């Protein structure tokens, strides 16, 4: 009997599969489709200090082997998440959930994390310093090692739970930023967020997205994600949550061999709402195919020899 269990900063997960923030809402939206308690956990919709409507439409553009999004962190704000979203989630999810937090200043990040810290349902924070779809925050912190370190330090001061910093691939050297976050106390790292991209409508001869540019995700970015997870695994000693183009159980194993302890599934949820369930179903059989008895044994396995 194979073991799919992994340990993420002291919390054991039944499997490493985590729906990525922004692709799974607040969880209960999927609970009518299947038992979401089968997931390792999930990262809920990116939450900010105040309510956000997000960016103007169009916000989505299809691409070959992927998609562009420029949603712009639409969410009800932290107070509503605490009073409304988390109680609804508690009715259908009995595991710890990952709180994804975004901000437009260091104070924003600290305020939102401090507010959420007392919520027993939350097991980890995932601090998004890498969103390419907002102005004046997010990506500005994630592309500068000093700024990334300052956000990490501020959040660690107000939280008692493990903090994962979500990193941007839109940088020259992702290991520099990873090491800066680790030095300021980050408990783990999530990578990668979306690549910055765009599409142009040939009929109008203008960008398809109202925001002109957006985050590119989907299977086309998997080689980039694998390369960055591999590099960061060599650079730091804290756990990594790998993501980017993951669609199958084979993709999960590949990401773990590169160095991921757990694996997020993003764009695939928007194409197939059963994607995470299907990956979990296939994982034991795929492990047997590749003669893997325990997933914990393969983390970083591609670095051996």
Q: What does the domain layout of the chain look like in residue ranges?
A: 6-303
Helices (H), 56-104: 78-80, 86-90
**Strands laid side by side in the 195-197 sheet:** 60-63, 66-69, 214-217, 195-197
pLDDT tens by residue, 158-168: 999 999 999 99
181 flagged as catalytic: no
CA 12 – CA 35 distance, rounded (Å) = 19
Residue 134 reports pLDDT greater than 60: no
**Per-residue model confidence (pLDDT) at position 138:** 56
The catalytic position among 63, 92, 113, 131 is 131
Residue 252 reports pLDDT greater than 70: yes
Please indicate, yes or no, whether the overall pTM of this predicted structure exceeds 0.75.
yes
- The two counts, helices (H) then strands (E), for the chain are 10, 15
**Per-residue model confidence (pLDDT) at position 131:** 65
C-alpha distances out from residue 43 to 5, 67, 99, 208, Å: 18, 20, 6, 28
CA 14 – CA 229 distance, rounded (Å) = 22
Least confident of 131-135, 215-219, 292-296: 131-135
Residue 140 reports pLDDT greater than 90: no
Q: Which fold has domain 6-303?
A: TIM Barrel (3.20.20)
Residue 99 reports pLDDT greater than 60: yes
């Amino acid at each position: 009997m194979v073991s799919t269990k992994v340990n993420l900063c002291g919390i054991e997960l039944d499997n490493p599969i985590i729906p990525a923030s922004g692709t799974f809402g607040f969880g209960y939206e999927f609970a009518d489709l299947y038992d979401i308690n089968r997931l390792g956990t999930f990262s809920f919709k990116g939450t900010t200090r105040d309510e956000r409507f997000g960016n103007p439409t169009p916000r989505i553009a299809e691409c070959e082997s992927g998609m562009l999004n420029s949603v712009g962190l639409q969410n009800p704000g932290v107070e509503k998440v605490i009073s409304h979203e988390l109680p609804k989630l508690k009715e259908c999810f009995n595991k710890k959930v990952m709180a994804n937090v975004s901000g437009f200043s260091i104070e924003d990040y600290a305020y939102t994390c401090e507010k959420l810290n007392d919520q027993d349902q939350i097991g980890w924070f995932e601090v998004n310093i890498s969103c390419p779809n907002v102005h004046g925050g997010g990506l500005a912190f994630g592309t500068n090692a000093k700024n990334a370190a300052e956000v990490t330090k501020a959040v660690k001061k107000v939280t008692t739970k493990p903090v994962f910093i979500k990193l941007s691939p839109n940088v020259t050297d992702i290991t520099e930023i990873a090491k800066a976050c680790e030095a300021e106390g980050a408990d783990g790292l999530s990578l990668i967020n979306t690549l910055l991209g765009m599409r142009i409508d040939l009929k109008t001869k203008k960008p398809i997205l109202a925001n002109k540019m957006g985050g590119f995700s989907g299977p086309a970015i998997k080689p980039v994600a694998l390369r960055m997870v591999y590099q960061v695994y060599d650079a730091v000693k804290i756990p990594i949550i790998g993501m980017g183009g993951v669609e199958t159980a084979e993709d999960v194993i590949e990401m773990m061999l590169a160095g991921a302890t757990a694996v997020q599934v993003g764009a695939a949820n928007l194409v197939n709402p059963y994607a995470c369930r299907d990956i979990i179903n296939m994982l034991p059989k795929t492990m047997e195919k590749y003669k893997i008895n325990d997933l914990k044994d393969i983390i970083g396995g591609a670095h051996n020899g």
